[in-house]
Amino acid sequence: MARPRRIVLVRHGESEGNADDSVYEREPDHALRMTPTGHEQAAATGERLRALFGDDSVSAYVSPYRRTLQTFRDLKLDPARVRVREEPRLREQDWGNWQDRDDVRLQKAYRDAYGHFFYRFAQGESGADVYDRVGAFLESLYRSFEAPDHPPNVLLVTHGLTMRLFCMRWFHWSVSEFECLSNPPNGDFRVLRLGDDDRYRMDRPFERWTTPEPYDLDG
């Protein structure tokens, strides 16, 4: 099995929805574009990733949302060294089609009180649903490692919550651990590096906004 030396997770650059949440009332979430700031963020990330990958080949998977596809293009990776696939299982958490800003703000308040992993948006998904489809994607990713010529780098261009849930699934974090972590900034990335002991370690942790509550499996 040709396990990659690196798995890189990139959050898309700033989108219209990040800058103005009223846009969700007029535009579908999947169709939102990046802002000029978002393009700058993606370009800066691309410069760092090109230095990281060097002349190595890359297997890339990109969420089908417009802002993630734009982010991938702005990375300006060498197309001769990159095999790219659109991967719907890496999409944003579904919020339920058109969104009313006041209703979404109320639901976010409910989610903060209820828990980000288990709270389900009306007509949308819970964090647990995203976790399940990320798990299904991981099964496909593992199978791809069986190819003897698999590239030494894997790149995922996705969304903040999906990044955290990918790492939760990969590293077997508890729900309590997940709940205490914040999304990375727009355009930021994390690198999972394969060590000499054949285990992956993340280059930088996600920021914590609280301390995870202890959980007694026998209680």
* Contact indicator for 181, 208 with CB cutoff of 8 Å: yes
* Contact indicator for 117, 131 with CB cutoff of 8 Å: yes
Q: 154 forms bridges with which residues in the sheet?
A: 7, 59
Cα separations (Å) of 203 from 106, 121, 123, 175, 218? Answer: 35, 32, 36, 21, 33
**Which helix or strand (DSSP H or E) is residue 106 part of?**
helix 101-114
Which residues are known catalytic residues? 12, 92
